[in-house]
């Protein structure tokens, strides 16, 4: 079994995070991980906490207005 397939399955089962998959496969961006997961029909794990973190970061960068 290829390392890529093992990494994808490990992400699917929750054994690896997105960052761990990226590092293991030596991918440069998280978007490459997203493309790989999409190719294998594996949904991203994106929690409410992830959303809040992203919204906070966008506000800090001025992309979104503050509350």
What are the pLDDT digits (tens) for 7-61?
999 999 999 999 999 999 999 999 999 999 999 999 999 889 989 998 999 999 9
Element (DSSP H or E) covering residue 30: helix 30-39
Q: Can you give the residue ranges of every domain in the chain?
A: 3-61
| Alpha carbons 33 and 44: distance in angstroms, whole number | 10
| Alpha carbons 62 and 1: distance in angstroms, whole number | 45
Element (DSSP H or E) covering residue 21: helix 18-24
């Amino acid at each position: 079994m290829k390392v890529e397939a093992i990494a994808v399955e490990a992400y699917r089962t929750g054994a690896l995070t997105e960052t761990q998959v990226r590092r293991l496969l030596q991918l440069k961006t998280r978007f490459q991980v997203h493309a790989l997961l999409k190719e294998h029909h594996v949904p991203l794990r994106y929690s409410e906490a992830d959303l809040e973190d992203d919204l906070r970061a966008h506000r800090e960068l001025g992309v979104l207005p503050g509350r």
